Structure 1
Amino acid sequence: MTEKTVNPFVKLGLELGPVVLFFVFYGRIKDEFFTIGGVEYAGFIVATALFIPLILASTAILWWLTGKLSKMQLMTAVLIVVFGGMSVYFNDERFFKMKPTMIYLLFGGILGIGLLQGKSYLRSVMEEVLPMQDEGWMILTKRLTAFFAALAITNEFVWRTMSTDAWVNFKTFGLTAAVFVFFMFQNKLMQTYAVTVEDQDT
């Protein structure tokens, strides 16, 4: 299947929609308990159970609309299924709360391995939409590796020391805002090392 063009707002809605729905649904049932199959589940676990098919559905629709999924999207979906499924199966919210930590450690670790080899794996993923010189890619990759490590540590601190409500707010808004701010502050780097049409023609 060839890659197709999709409305960026539709794409953004599919990527963020499941997270927003999880936040809304959790807010409605967070203080409730549900008995299913003779086992009592807290609202957080039920919201997690519903989040898994939502993320799978949104990922499948993205693939259907675009004809392509990035490795990051696939790995994120797999980790959500694994850690979300473990939370539901063991009736233990800690597994799902650890999921962002695992995602950021995995992505940061992959980028770090590339850096040790003198390569930017980030470039192979983003070069088509963000053409930059080699030096710019290496700088951005180093920064993003450190950023992922910081997010993993922060997530561990929040879920281990704060309430579930605080973690849900952090996961829904804090992490999203952090990623946005990080890339906003990379604008100067991207402009400095941008590859122009003249560079591509030489």
Structure 2
Amino acid sequence: MAETKINPVLKQVLELGPTLVFFLVYMWIKDESYTFRGTEYSGFIVAALVLVPLLLASIAILWWLTGTLSRMQIFVAVMVVFFGGLTAWFNDERFFKMKTTIVYGSFAVILGAGLLRGRSLLQWVMAEALPMKPEGWMILTRRLALMFAALAIANEVIWRTQSEEVWVYLETFAMPIALFLFLMLQFMLLQRFLIEPPEDKS
């Protein structure tokens, strides 16, 4: 099914909104605790559980508006639901913090596995949106696999050594911004591999 274009601002709100709501809810209730059926839950765990239905709702709206979802969106949603469920079941915030490591680590492994077979899985996923020569896709895939691996390692170090609040700030803002800037830099460096669309002579 072809993707229906939607307002880019609305798309960004739907994609980033749930994470920002998680951050705001956490900042509001981080020092609180809540008891449900005899079990006490921290503000962090409650904020994490708020994120799950919000993320599912935003993805459902995106699917309804565009008629399609990326594999990355589906994978991230599954990870959030799975680790959010573990966090609630075991009443242990570590599961939610490990989610980021698993997500970034999985992307690194998937891209790396494709490279070992001499293929760029990024090209397979994004070729229509970003026409580029195969050599450029291989370079971008190698660099992005290393970036995802670095983010996975960084997340492990941060949540194990820093405070909960520091982790929330870095998870919400620093890591996505670092990934965005990295991608922008790569697109600038790989300009020579981009394929210009043919001119319309009609």
* TMscore range, shorter length: over 0.9
Task: Give the Cα separation in 2 of the matches to 1:160 and 1:9.
Answer: 35
Task: Give the Cα separation in 2 of the matches to 1:40 and 1:86.
Answer: 15
Give aligned pairs, total: 199
Task: Give the Cα separation in 2 of the matches to 1:140 and 1:46.
Answer: 38
Following TM superposition, by how much is the alpha carbon of 1:135 offset from its aligned partner in structure 2, in angstroms? 0.2
SS at match of 1:65: helix
In the alignment, does 2:88 pair up with 1:119? no
The within-5 A match list for 1:1-202 is: 2-198=2-198
Question: Contact 1:123/1:137 (CA < 8 Å) preserved in 2?
Answer: yes
Deviation larger for 181-190 or 7-16: 181-190
Task: Give the Cα separation in 2 of the matches to 1:182 and 1:89.
Answer: 36
Following TM superposition, by how much is the alpha carbon of 1:3 offset from its aligned partner in structure 2, in angstroms? 1.9
Following TM superposition, by how much is the alpha carbon of 1:19 offset from its aligned partner in structure 2, in angstroms? 0.3
- Give the 4+ runs in structure 1 shifted more than 2 A: 187-190
**CA RMSD in angstroms, aligned pairs only:** 1.2
Task: Give the Cα separation in 2 of the matches to 1:98 and 1:143.
Answer: 23
Cα displacement string for residues 157-187 of structure 1 (whole angstroms, at most 9, x for unaligned residues): 0000000000000000011111111012113
Deviation larger for 70-79 or 173-182: 173-182
Task: Give the Cα separation in 1 of the matches to 2:149 and 2:197.
Answer: 35
Question: Contact 1:136/1:189 (CA < 8 Å) preserved in 2?
Answer: no
Cα displacement string for residues 20-57 of structure 1 (whole angstroms, at most 9, x for unaligned residues): 00000000000001011111000001111111001110
Q: Give structure 1 stretches of 5+ with no counterpart.
A: none
- Identity percentage of aligned residues: 55
Following TM superposition, by how much is the alpha carbon of 1:198 offset from its aligned partner in structure 2, in angstroms? 4.9
Following TM superposition, by how much is the alpha carbon of 1:126 offset from its aligned partner in structure 2, in angstroms? 1.0
Q: 1:144 is aligned with what amino acid?
A: L
Question: Contact 1:33/1:43 (CA < 8 Å) preserved in 2?
Answer: yes
Following TM superposition, by how much is the alpha carbon of 1:131 offset from its aligned partner in structure 2, in angstroms? 0.6
Task: Give the Cα separation in 2 of the matches to 1:197 and 1:171.
Answer: 37
Q: Give structure 2 stretches of 5+ with no counterpart.
A: none
Following TM superposition, by how much is the alpha carbon of 1:191 offset from its aligned partner in structure 2, in angstroms? 1.0
Question: Contact 1:30/1:43 (CA < 8 Å) preserved in 2?
Answer: yes
Question: Contact 1:104/1:151 (CA < 8 Å) preserved in 2?
Answer: yes
